[in-house]
Amino acid sequence: MARLFGTDGVRGIANTFLSPELAFTLGRVGTGIIARRLRRQPTIIVGCDTRLSGDMLEAAVASGIASVGGQAVTIGVIPTPGVAFLVRDLPADAGIIISASHNPMEYNGIKFVSGDGFKLSDEEEQEIEEYISFDEQGIVRFGVYDDFPRPAGGGVGKICRLQNAGERYMRYAKSTVNVSLEGLKVVVDCANGAASSYTPRLLEDLGAHVITVNDKPDGTNINLKCGSIHPQVIGELVVRTGADLGLAHDGDADRLIAVDERGHVVNGDHIMAICGLDLLRKGKLPKKTIVATVYSNLGLVKTFKREGGNVVITQNGDRYVLEEMRKLGVVLGGEQSGHIIFLDRNTTGDGIITALALLSVLRTTGQRLSELASWMEVYPQTLVNVEVSNKESFFSNSRVGRAIERANALVGEEGRIFVRPSGTEPLIRVLGEGADEAMVRTAVSEVVKVVREELSRD
pLDDT at 144: 60
Domain ranges (residues) in the chain:
10-163, 183-264, 267-353+371-378, 381-455
Q: What DSSP letter does each residue of 206-270 carry, written as one string? A: TT-EEEEES----SS-TTTT-GGG-THHHHHHHHHHT-SEEEE--TTS---EEE-TTS-EE-HHH
Is residue 129 classed exposed, middle or buried when 0-12, 13-18 and 19+ CB atoms within 10 A define those classes?
Answer: middle
H-helix segments, 39-164: 54-67, 80-89, 122-129
Q: Which of 121, 175, 176, 44 is nearest to 322 (CA)?
A: 121
Domain 183-264 top-level CATH class: alpha beta
381-455 fold: TATA-Binding Protein (3.30.310)
pLDDT beyond 80 at 170: yes
When comparing pLDDT for 143 and 362, which is higher? 362
Which active-site residues does the annotation give? 101
183-264 against 381-455: fold identical: no
Superfamily designation of domain 10-163: Alpha-D-Glucose-1,6-Bisphosphate, subunit A, domain 3 (3.40.120.10)
Q: What is the pTM of this model?
A: 0.89
For the chain, percent of residues with pLDDT exceeding 70 = 98
pLDDT in tens, 333-350: 999 999 999 999 999 999
pLDDT at 136: 72
Taking a C-beta distance cutoff of 8 angstroms, is the pair 248, 256 a contact? yes
Confidence band, pLDDT 50/70/90 cuts, at residue 282: very high
pLDDT at 458: 47
Q: What distance in Å separates the CA atoms of residue 275 and residue 346, rounded to the nearest whole number?
A: 16
Taking a C-beta distance cutoff of 8 angstroms, is the pair 402, 417 a contact? no
267-353+371-378 fold: Alpha-D-Glucose-1,6-Bisphosphate; Chain A, domain 3 (3.40.120)
